[in-house]
Structure 1
Amino acid sequence: MHPELAARSDRAHAVERIHPSPDVALTSKRLGEFEAGRESSDLLTPDRLLDPHQVVRPEPEGTWQHLVYSLSGHRINLGDGKRARARKELDRRIAVALPGGARFVPVLSRKGGVGKTTITALLGMALADARDDRIIAIDANPDRGTLAERIARSSGRTIRDLVRVHSEVSGYSDVSSIVARDETRLDVLASDADPRVSEALSDRDYHDVAAVAAHYYSIVLTDTGTGIVHSVMGATLDVADQLVIVSGLSVDEARLASETLTWLETNGYSEQSRNAVVVLNNSRPGAPLVRQEELESHFATRVRAVVRMPYDPLIGGGSTITFRDLQPATRLAARELAAAVVQGLRSLAPAA
C-alpha cells in the first residue's frame, strides 16, 4: 500500500472501530450461517407467523379504499391505495436497521453555490424524520459554514466547543447541549461563524469530533468545505462509508462533479466513488439549460445512484428550511435520496 494511503488508513482506524452505545440490537445469523436445518431468530417474521384472519388490518389510505371501508361498516378493507403503498415502502427503505457501528456520509462539491449545504440539510431531515435512531449533520467547513442557518433552532454553540471538550464527553447530554435539534429530530453541529476566529478547523479536530459522534449517532452526515484538497476533506474521506456528490445544472458544474469522481478514483477512493450517490440539484428558478436526462445518463455510468432535486422557492431564498412546508416534490426527492443512501450503507459489512 502507498505510504500516504497507509497513514490515512491508520488515522481513520480509531474512528471506524468505535461502535454506538450498547443498546443497539444484536445481529442474528441468517439461514445458511447455522448448521443445516437450523434457522435464525430473524426469520420469525410477523408475515410468517401471524394468522391473517386474526390480525386487524389498519384503516386503509386512499379515497376509494376509505370510502368502501366506511360504507361497509369497516368490514371490507381493500388495503392502501397505490400512492400510500409507495409512501410506506419508501418509509420502510429509509428506516431499515443498520447494524454495527456509526456510518459516515460526507456531502461533497468542487464548486460553491450548487446547494451542497442545502442537500446536507434535506438529507438529514429526511433521514431523521423516518428513522428511530439518532442522525447528526456536522458543518465541517474549515472556514465559515452556513448549515446551522438552514434549521430554525440554534444552540448558539459550534464545532469548536465540541473540539474543546471532546475528551470530557461522558454521555449524550454533553453532546445535546452543544448541537441544535431540528423539528425532524436532526441534530446539527454548527461551524464557527465568528470572523475573529483565526484558526481554521483541522483534520485532527474533525477526527476528534467524529470519534464523539460515532458513540452517539447511527448516521453522521458531514457538510464539507468546497473543493477537495483542504485538510478537513482528507479526514472526512478517511472515515467515509458513503459519498454524496452534488452537481449543479450547468455544463461547468456537471464537469466539476464528474472530475471529482475521477479524482476520487485516482486517489485511493475508487470503491467509495463507485458506490456514491450524485444529486442533480436545481438551485435556480426556471428551466435549466442542460438536459437533465443526459446528465443522469452520464453519472449513472460512474456511480450507484443518481437523484434529481427540484427547485423549491422555500429553499431558494437561503432562509431556514422547514421540512413539512416544502413542496411535495422536494420532500419526495429528499426521501428518495435518503433511501438511496441507506441502501448503500446496508451493503456495507457490519464493523468488526
Structure 2
Amino acid sequence: MAPERNENEGENADNGVLATTDGTETTGIGIVEGATAQVEVTLPTDFDEEDDFDDDVVRGEDVTLVQLPAERDEVRGEAPATTAVPVASVSAASAEPAPKASVSAAAAASAAAAKTAPAPKTAAAAKASSSVASTSATAPTASDASHAELDHHERVRPRTSEITLQSRRLGDFEVDRESSDLLTADRLLDPAHVVRPEPEGAWRHLVYTLSGRRINLGDSKRARARKQLDDRIAAPLSGGARFVPVLSRKGGVGKTTVTTLLGMALADAREDRIIAVDANPDRGTLAERVGRTSGKTVRDLVRARGDVHGFNDISQIVARDHTRLDVLASDADPHVSEAFSDADYRDVAEVAAHFYSVVLTDTGTGIVHSVMEATLEHADELVIVAGLSIDEARLASETLTWLESNGYAERVRSAVVVLNTSRPGAALVRADELDAHFRSRVRAVVRLPYDPHIASGSAISFRDLQPETRDAARELAAIVVEGLRASSVAA
C-alpha cells in the first residue's frame, strides 16, 4: 500500500516529511553535515518495472529525464550505471524548495535504484545515493549551498541527445528542403506521356496521320527555323515604350516600305501593341501601304491628346491592319499651312508611350527637317535604309557620318542597315561589298529582296509576300528586338 501523504500541506510543504512510513522499509536515518535529515526508502516488492511514471505527472509542469550521478557506483568500485528519473523542471537560480509531489517522485526513483544495489559503505557514498530524495530541514551553510547548486545544475542539465527546437525566420530553410519554384514541367512531366503537337512538314505529317497519330517525327527543318525566329521576335521587352525611327537621306529608297514590313513582322509575332507613326512633315504614304484608314491623322491626336484616357480613345484615331499593326497617318490635307513639328511629335510620342510597347517612326526625307530633332531624342535604336546603287549607298553612309558627328555615335554602332532591292533583276552594284562596308560601321545588315507585290505600290498584305521577303522582314524584326533588349540590359 502506498504511503499516505501529510494532509497538513501548509506546515510541512518545505520539508517533504511523510505522514507515515507504512509500506516502506526504512534503511537508515541520520543527521549528515549541517543537520540535514535524510531518509532512504525502497519500493514494495511488487513494483512494476514497466511502469512509465504516468501517475507522477507534477501539476501540469514539464518533466525532464535526467541521469543520476554516477559517483554512487564509483564509490563501490562498480561500473558506472545511470538511471533515468523524471524530475520537474525548475529554475536553476530559484532558492525555493521543490514541491512535495516532486520529492515523492524523486524518492520513488531513488528507492528503485537502491533495491538493486547494496547500501553505500561511507557517509559520502550515502550522501551521493540519497541526494535526490533529501529535503532541507534547516538553512544550509555556504559550503553546502555551493555544493547543492552544482548538484542541482548537474541534475537538470538537458541530455545531449535531445533535439533543441529553434524558431526560424521566413525563408530560413534546411539545406535539403526544396522551394516551390523547383516543381517545373521539365522535372515533373513524363516525356513518354507528354502529347506532342502535330508535326509540320508534308511527309512528316503524312506519316503521323497514317500511323494513327502514333508516329511523330517532329517538325521539319524549315518549321523549326520559323518557330525559333518567332521566339526571337516575341522575346519580352522590359521597361516602357521603345522608339525605333527609320531614316534615309534620299527619297524613293523604300523607307516607308521598310517601316511597314518591320511593323507587320513585329505585330504578327508579338502579343503586345505595335504602332507605326508617319512623321513625314510633307505628307507621308504610310497609311496607304496598310490599306485601312480611319480618316484621322497625327493632327487629330495632337488636338485630342488631353481627352485620351484609355486605349479605346486612341483606337478611334489609328488604323489597324490584319497583323494588328496600328498606323497613325500623317496630315494629307494640302490646305494645311502648318507643318508637323517637333512639339507635335513630342505630344504624339507621349500619348503613344502609354499604350504601345514599340513605336516605329517613318521619318521624312533627309535628317535636318523639323521633326528629326525630336525623333532622334526619343530613339532607342536606328534603322537606316540604303538602296542598291552608288549614290544611294553613299547617302546612307553619309547619314551614319552625320549622326556620329552630332552626338549619336553610340546609336550608330547599334543601328541596323537595310539594303532594299527596289528593282527586278540583278543589281548593278556588288551587294556583298555594300554589306561588308556597312557591317564595319553598324551592328547588323539585312538584305530585303525584290517583291512584285511591294513594287506595285498598293497596300501590302503580309501574307501575300513572297516567302523570301517575309523571312527577311521577320529577320529584321528579330534583330531589332535583340538590340532593344541589349540596350535595356546595358541601361
Query: What band does the TM-score fall into relative to the shorter chain?
Result: 0.7 to 0.9
Compute the displacement of 1:198 (Å): 0.6
Q: Secondary structure at the match of 1:302?
A: coil
CA-to-partner distance for each residue in 1:92-134, whole Å, 9 max, x for gaps?
Answer: 1111111210110000001000000010001001111111110
Which residue pairs with 2:432 in the alignment? 293
Counterpart amino acid of 1:137?
A
| 2:323 counterpart of 1:184 | yes
Distance of 2:398 and 2:291 partners within structure 1: 35
Q: Structure 1 residues 308 and 75 mapped into 2: Cα distance closer, same or farther (>3 Å)?
A: same
Letter of the 1:54 counterpart: H
> How big is the shift at 1:205?
0.5
In 2, distance between residues paired with 1:44 and 1:262? Answer: 53
User: 1:1-352 counterparts in 2 under 5 A?
Assistant: 46-47=185-186, 50-349=189-488
Aligned-pair identity (%): 77
Change (3 A) 1:132 1:276: same
Of 66-75 and 277-286, deviating more is 66-75
| CA deviation after TM superposition for structure 1 residue 349, in Å | 2.0
Match of 1:347, SS state, is helix
Tell me how far apart the structure 2 counterparts of residues 40 and 281 of structure 1 sit (CA, whole Å). 52
Using CA pairs below 8 Å that are at least 6 residues apart, which structure has the higher relative contact order?
1
Conservation of the 8 A alpha-carbon contact between 2:319 and 2:327: yes
Q: Aligned partners of 1:82, 1:50: CA distance in 2, in Å?
A: 26
The code of the aligned residue for 2:289 comes to R
Quote the offset at 1:230 in angstroms: 1.2
Distance 1:244 1:202, change over 3 A: same
| One-letter code aligned to 1:274 | R
Cα 1:41/1:225, change in 2 over 3 Å: farther
Q: Rate the CA distance shift 1:227–1:64 in 2: closer, same or farther, 3 A.
A: same
The alignment partner of 2:488 has SS state of: coil
**1:232: Cα distance to partner?**
0.6
Instruction: Note closer, same or farther for the CA distance 1:126–1:211 as it changes in structure 2 (3 Å cut).
Output: same
Q: TM-score, normalization: structure 2?
A: 0.62
When Rg is computed on C-alpha atoms for both structures, the one with the higher figure is 2
TM superposition outliers: structure 1 runs of 4+ over 4 Å: 36-49
Number of matched pairs: 317
CA contact (8 A) 2:238 2:488 kept: no
More helix by share: 1
Which secondary structure does the structure 2 equivalent of 1:52 belong to? coil
User: What value does the CA root-mean-square deviation take over the aligned residues?
Assistant: 2.2
For residues 459 and 325 of structure 2, the distance between their equivalents in structure 1, rounded to whole angstroms, comes to 14
